[in-house]
Amino acid sequence: MTYIPITDLLTGKRAGEAIHLRGWVARKRSSKKIAFLTIRDSTGRIQVSVNKENNPEAYAIADSIGYESALYITGLLAEDSRAPGGFEIKASEIKIVGKAEKFPISKDQSQELLLDIRHLALRSQRLTSMLKIRSSVFEAIHNYFRKNDYTEVQPPIFTTAGSEGGSTLFEVEYFDKTVFLSQSWQLYAENFIYSVEKAYTIAPSFRAEKSKSARHVTEFWHAEVEATWMNFEELLQLMENLISAICKNVAKKNKADLKALGKNPKDLLKIKAPFPRISYNKALELLKEHGMDVPYGKDLGATEERAIGKYFDKPVLITHYPREIMAFYKRVDPTNPKVCLNANLIAPEIGEIIDGSERESDMDKILESLKLEGLDPEEYDFYLDTRRYGSVPHSGFGMGIARVVMWICGFDTIKDAIAFPRTMTRVKP
């Protein structure tokens, strides 16, 4: 038996044919004469009608079956302008594959309750579309780096030193030691490149974030890249080109998913390199003009970043942040030692989605910065070997994939961009 995906049925090419369909009951209603089911599969939704007089057995099933029951359906595909999608199946036979108990999701449930039953909420159209878009984002990242001769490498997850500050390190008992879950591949990336030169990874990163912000989770998939000889300008272009490639791929592969989320695929195609660029200083000026007084030396938070994002119709690069708020590995600008050669890519309505920099290749400057951050150089000994043995200029960045998905989908919380989000208060299911 050949079962036809719903998306193919909705093209209408098989109108007038008898077809077989399988899927789950997403909606239902019935009158005394006719029952309507909306059946969903991974590709879409279609209306099924069952006439009681002609098909009493099928009607009895349709009339009594619960939401999310799995069915095989045989019927005639007919054009019908009243049906959502323009087609319906006039069912002649319905077989129950898996009967559902009373499904615990109904309309108007709170976000928290839906997160408690996230494993079931994943069946919603919204989250199914998100998962498909997310898959295309991963695909685009792999394709982009592989096409440009990057080697995919795998950093460890158990680590002995942090690269992004001690306050968000997760401690793990590791036999008789305490180690940390990786915050970023950073310390390993800068070693990998002395072997493969152009390296990238997509790996989980962990942050003990206590913040309840809409864009922080404790576990996220991190796309990170590092390359020898790459200068700051080339780094900025890499950020722009990767984001453009991701948007293009999603616009091409996920038209129906974007539409289901109220997004226009054409808008994504407009996200093309180059992006506007402003310095941290300029960002402070812009903020001040609009009544937000941020003192020099304070990092920009979500509110400030979103305010900046509003001035532009594309993502914007903010560059040259004050050295004192930058991690030790970022290169100090040789023309202005107060700032670093770093950039954050800010997506409209979300804020930072990428963080990167040229790296400091001078051992003494790194030692100085480690001390400024109050870190023990001995803990970073294996990392410092990158500067001891043939140090070269290099650059890299990290991109939070869930933030990119959140932005593309137009979600107001990062949790919706992750199948099973982890936060300070949630690790189940």
Q: Which residues bind Mg ion (CB under 5 A)?
A: 355
How far is Cα 17 from Cα 12, in angstroms, rounded to an integer? 10
Least distance from Mg ion to the Cβ atom of residue 355, Å: 3
In DSSP notation, 87-111 reads: EEEEEEEEEEEE-----S--TT--H
- Choice from 23, 155, 356, 421 touching ligand 4AD (CB under 6 A): 356
Asked if residue 309 binds ligand 4AD (CB under 6 A), the reply is no
CB of 318 to ligand 4AD, least distance (A): 12
Residue 78 phi, psi dihedral angles, 5° rounding = -130, 145
Structure tokens at 316: 């914007």
Candidate ranges 47-55, 92-100, 254-262, 396-404; the one touching ligand 4AD (CB under 6 A): 396-404
**Cβ-based nearer residue to ligand 4AD, 35 or 317:** 317
Minimum Å gap between C-beta 354 and Mg ion is 9
- Cβ closer to ligand 4AD: 77 or 402? 402
The reply to whether 222 sits near ligand 4AD by the rule CB under 6 A is yes
Tokens encoding 3: 């079962």
397 binding ligand 4AD? (CB under 6 A): yes
Q: 302: number of CA atoms within 13 Å, CB side? A: 12
Indicate the burial class of 60 (C-beta count within 10 angstroms; 0-12, 13-18, 19 or more): middle
Partner whose footprint covers residue 348, from Mg ion, ligand 4AD, none (CB < 5 to 8 Å by kind): none
Site membership for ligand 4AD, residue 354 (CB under 6 A): yes
Residue 163 interacts with ligand 4AD (CB under 6 A): yes or no: yes
Q: How far is the CB of 320 from Mg ion (least distance, A)?
A: 14
Instruction: Find which of Mg ion, ligand 4AD, none residue 314 binds, CB within 5 to 8 Å per kind.
Output: none
Under the criterion CB under 6 A, does residue 403 sit at the interface with ligand 4AD?
A: yes
Q: How many other CB atoms sit within 10 Å of the CB of residue 225?
A: 28
Q: Is 68 in the site for ligand 4AD (CB under 6 A)?
A: no
Per-residue CA distances from 137 to 205, 252, 404 (Å)? 17, 11, 8
* Residue 220 makes contact with ligand 4AD by CB under 6 A: yes
Q: From the CB of 39, what's the least distance to Mg ion, in Å?
A: 45
Nearest alpha-carbon partner for 163 in 35, 330, 306, 45 = 330
Q: Where are the alpha helices (DSSP H) in 159-214?
A: 186-196
Task: Kindly indicate which of the ranges 4-12, 85-93, 103-111, 399-407 contains the residues binding ligand 4AD, using the contact rule CB under 6 A.
Answer: 399-407
Strands 316-319 and 277-279: parallel
CB-based closest residue to Mg ion? 355
Q: Compute the least distance from the CB of residue 376 to ligand 4AD, in Å.
A: 19
Cβ(27)–Cβ(37) below 8 Å: yes
Binding pattern for the stretch 260-279 against ligand 4AD, x by CB under 6 A and - elsewhere: --------------------
The yes or no reply on residue 217 touching ligand 4AD (CB under 6 A) is: yes
Site for ligand 4AD in 124-153 (CB under 6 A): none
Q: Compose the 170-209 pattern: x for residues touching ligand 4AD by CB under 6 A, - for all others.
A: --------------x-x--------------------x-x
Q: CA–CA distance from 216 to each of 175, 291, 427 (Å)?
A: 30, 26, 14
SS3 1: coil
Each as own residue / partner, the long-range contacts of residues 296-301 (CB below 8 Å, 24 or more positions apart, any chain) are 296/322, 297/322, 297/324, 297/325, 298/325, 299/325, 300/344, 301/351
Least spacing, CB of residue 325 vs Mg ion, in Å: 10
| Residues ≥6 apart with Cβ < 8 Å to 401 | 134, 137, 138, 141, 202, 220, 221, 222, 223
Which residue ranges make up the site for ligand 4AD (CB under 6 A)?
A: 163-164, 184, 186, 207, 209, 216-217, 220, 222, 224, 352-356, 396-400, 402-403, 414
